[in-house]
Amino acid sequence: MAGMPGTGGTRMLAWSFVGPALLLLIAFNLFPLAWNIVLSFTNADLSGGTWEWVGGRNYATIFSDKSFAAKYGAALRTTALFTVLAVAIELALGFALALALRRDFRGKTPLLAVLLLPMMLSPAVMGLFWNLILEGTYGPLNQILGLAGLSQPAWRTEFKLLCLLLVDVWMWTPFMMLIALAGLNAIPAQLYEAAEIDRTPAWRVFARITLPLCAPLLGLAVLLRATDALKQFDLVMAITGPNDQATQTVSALLYQTTFANQKVGLGAAYAIVVLVGVIAVATLFTRYLDWMAARQGREG
Amino acid sequence: MRGLAVLRWSLLGVYAALAAAPLLLLLLTSFKSPADATSLDLKVLPLAGSASPHAFAPTLDGYAGLAGGGEGTAQPFWSYFLSSAIIGVCSTIAAVALGTCCAYGFSRFRIAGAKDWLFFILSTRFMPPLAVVAPVLVMYRQMELQNTHLGLILLYTVFNLSLAVWLMKGFIDEIPKAYEEAALVDGYSRIQAFVRIIVPQARTGMAVTAVFCLIAAWNEYGFALTLNNQRGVTVPVYFAGLQGNISGVPWPQVAAGVLVSVLPIMVFTLLIRRHLLRGVTFGTIKQ
């Protein structure tokens, strides 16, 4: 049969199918990476003029220069805080919504369509429009709060990280909901029937059947969301700009260093430090997928 | 159990209202005059001549304004829309074509280190654009690809390849091998079998993959902002450019533009709604 290893012709054919895509991926990932490493040992700036080797000075700046090391630490903390809060809220809310949407009812399909829309939209574009919604005086949110007799905080100046979280939760809760629904639908009905015969209390059914059987898919959802949230850039740019202390994520600091301050060499060094973290997360993710596949293989 | 039902419906009702409100506001704002958009009486009723302080006279000025150069921009909105469309469509076609071939190779041949390759492909998706864009910029300057459609088409093709390969591999794995084997026995070559049997069978998968690639390219901001900020500017970068003069943002025009630019995405999302789950999880969940 064709497709068996060994014969040179088949191997050539196989590589001609997968080769072009792999070559492009390597060229556009490993090549910039290598160039990034080179740049990180230089004092190159954005103008593209002359540059010099500076050895490990950029890395020394990241880890020890007081002002930059503080900024770098703050950006890491902001990113971590944003990621943890966003993912936790989206998971809890998404899972709750999935539980509520579990049974079929009339109008479920159009309702799902409305709920799912935000995650398909552009964060940069919708972020801009959210600025109007969250505006302090004429923003619709505060006007509604005012009509309800509640206080009207200056969201965009005093609660910047909260604004970021709010928009992110609006956009990505449906993502968690979608995956949680898939998890719920995959639970065999017999388990619930058996629990009913045994008159198991509802909370026990939830704790012993629903939650554990949903957990692997929820884990996948959390990993997918977390890798995205760690890259958060678009909403920061739209809502506060890249250089606001309250919301400067790692990506925003990278942008600020490389493009606003034009320090390409320093930015490159910082990017390398970030990439070490990215590789760690990616490894964790692929291990998880592997584990899930093995688990499915055992069960099915 | 009654309490649970009340809880369930109120959660759904409240969340659906909150999720839909910004989209509804977007629609309303696009029909307002600039003064009504930032009025201190929240205008929600599109009724001309009504005495209510919350009513406003609907106008199409916001949409008409898309044809002229907006504040802080030199060109009409449609030129950015066209850039987004060219870059989105071309990169999508390239990503789906390359991704389908690659997925077929991994699905039907034994390739040394196939699993490692597939994980390498997936891991490229985790790369934050801002961490690789500086060397890309240096490279693009040398090759004169900065501020060109081709530059972003290339980049988005590569960016979407990981998704295209993983999604298409799932779809192709589901096509029975017997189809091609029959064709091979009939004297088709491998390439012929791929073109005449697999590609037609994988049409749905290719359409779903195309929609996800198009959406990603349409919404992408980091690369577009840093590489194409003078010519070949895409819609997200155009809108973000308006954020500088936040007090003077022409909101109705912005809302009209946002609506026009998200409309294709909404339509495509509805068309592939049954495959949404698969798309957002890289094909790792199949339903």
Most distant CA atoms of chain B, gap in Å: 79
Query: Residues 6 or more apart from A196 whose CB is under 8 A from it?
Result: none
Q: With contact defined as beta carbons under 8 Å apart, do A282 and B123 qualify? A: yes
Mean confidence (pLDDT) of chain B: 86
Q: Measured between beta carbons, which residues in chain A are less than 8 angstroms from residue B157?
A: 24
CB B120 within 8 A of CB B51: no
Using a CB-CB cut-off of 8 Å, the residues of chain A touching B276 are: 116, 178
Note the pLDDT of residue A157. Answer: 80
Is any Cβ of chain A less than 8 angstroms from the Cβ of B262? yes
Distance between CA atoms of residues B258 and B26, nearest Å: 8
Tell me whether B141 touches chain A (CB under 8 Å): yes
pLDDT at A103: 83
Amino acid in the structure at residue A73: G
Q: Which residues pair with A126 in a beta bridge?
A: none
The Cα–Cα gap between A271 and A61 comes to 13
Query: In whole angstroms, what is the distance from residue B128 CA to residue B74 CA?
Result: 30
Q: Of A69, A170, A85, A157, which is closest to residue A119 (Cα–Cα)?
A: A170
How far is the CA of A9 from the CAs of A27, B105, B192, B197, B277, in angstroms? 26, 14, 16, 21, 38
Mutate to test the interface with B, among A29, A112, A120, A244 (most CBs of B within 10 A): A120
B260 CB near a chain A CB, below 8 Å?
A: no
Mutation to test the B interface, candidates A22, A50, A184, most B Cβ within 10 Å: A22
Interface contact flag, A271 B130, Cβ < 8 Å: yes
CA distance A121 to chain B (A): 6
Q: Give CA–CA dist A281/A65, Å, rounded.
A: 27
pLDDT score recorded for residue B1: 63
Task: Nearest by CB to A5, from B11, B110, B135: name it.
Answer: B110
Contact with chain A for residue B24, Cβ under 8 A: no
Per CATH, the architecture of B77-280 is what? Orthogonal Bundle (1.10)
State how far the Cα of B235 lies from the Cα of A128, in Å rounded to an integer: 12
C-alpha distance from residue B190 to each of A12, A70, A90, B197, B275 (Å): 12, 59, 46, 10, 29
Flag if B236 and A99 touch (Cβ within 8 Å): no
Closest by CA position to A29, among listed A233, A267, A245, A278? A278
For chain B, the distance separating the N- and C-terminal CA atoms, rounded to the nearest angstrom, is 31
d(CA B287, CA B282): 13
CATH of A57-299, one of 3.40.50.150, 3.40.1370.10, 1.10.3720.10, 3.40.50.1220: 1.10.3720.10
* B172 touches A: beta carbon within 8 Å: no
| Rg value, chain A, Cα | 24
Distance CA B125, CA B121 (A): 8
Contact A125 B23 (CB under 8 A): no
What gap in Å lies between CA B67 and CA B55, rounded to an integer? Answer: 27
- What whole-number distance in Å separates Cα of residue A161 and Cα of residue A179? 26
Residue-wise pLDDT tens digits, B173-221: 989 988 888 988 888 888 888 998 899 999 989 999 999 999 999 999 9
Q: How far is B49 from chain A (nearest CA, A)?
A: 22
| Across B128-144, average pLDDT | 86
Instruction: Tell me the HSE value of B164 on the side-chain side, using a 13 A CA sphere.
Output: 32
Cα B145 from Cα A167, distance rounded (Å)? 34
The sign of the torsion formed by the CA atoms of A66, A69, A75, A80 equals negative
φ, ψ of residue B20 in degrees (nearest 5): -85, -25
pLDDT value at position B245?
Answer: 59
Q: Where are the alpha helices (DSSP H) in chain B?
A: 2-30, 34-37, 61-65, 77-108, 114-123, 129-142, 149-173, 177-185, 190-193, 199-201, 203-219, 222-227, 235-241, 251-271, 276-280
Which of B105, B255, B276 minimises the CB distance to A178? B276
Q: Is A238 on the interface with B (CB under 8 A)?
A: yes
Residue A42 has phi, psi (to 5 degrees) of -125, 175
Place of tokens 């290598």: A34
pLDDT at position B91: 96
In the A/B pair of chains, how many CB contacts fall below 8 A? 283
End-to-end Cα separation, chain A, in angstroms = 27
Quote the minimal CA–CA distance from B287 to chain A in Å.
8
ipTM entry: 0.87
Closest CA to A127 of B33, B79, B22, B260: B22
pLDDT tens digits for A43-67? 888 877 778 888 888 888 888 877 7
SS3 B98: helix
Structure tokens belonging to residue B182: 């029959």
Contact present, A163 and A155 (Cβ < 8 Å):
yes
Instruction: Determine the distance in angstroms separating the CA of A66 from the nearest CA of chain B, rounded to an integer.
Output: 23
Using CB atoms and an 8 Å cut-off, which of residues 137-166 of chain A contact chain B?
137-138, 140, 143-144, 147
SS3 B26: helix
Q: pLDDT tens digits, chain A, 300 residues: what are they?
A: 444 444 667 888 888 899 999 999 998 888 888 888 988 898 888 877 778 888 888 888 888 877 778 888 889 899 999 999 999 999 999 999 999 998 888 888 888 888 888 888 889 888 888 988 888 788 888 888 888 888 888 888 888 899 999 999 999 999 999 999 988 988 888 888 888 898 888 888 888 889 988 888 898 889 889 888 888 899 998 888 888 888 899 999 999 988 888 888 888 888 888 888 878 888 888 888 888 878 777 664
Query: Would you state the pLDDT for residue A3?
Result: 44
Q: Give the amino acid at B186.
A: D
Contact status, residue A87 vs residue A225, Cβ threshold 8 Å: yes
Q: Determine the distance in angstroms separating the CA of A84 from the nearest CA of chain B, rounded to an integer.
A: 17
pLDDT exceeds cutoff 70 at B254: yes
- Closest-CA residue in chain A for B180? A2
Facing B131 at nearest CB: one of A4, A121, A274 = A274
Each domain of chain A, given as residue ranges in start order, spans 57-299
For residue A257, what are its two tokens? 């260093």
Interatomic CA distance for residues B273 and B27, integer angstroms: 22
Give the 3-state secondary structure of A169-204.
Answer: HHHHHHHHHHHHHHHHHCCCHHHHHHHHHCCCCHHH
Domain-by-domain residue ranges, chain B? Answer: 2-65, 77-280
CA distance readout (Å), A298 to A285, A292, A294, B287: 20, 10, 6, 19
* B73-121: pLDDT as tens digits: 567 888 899 999 999 999 999 999 999 999 999 998 888 888 889 888 8
pLDDT of residue B160: 93
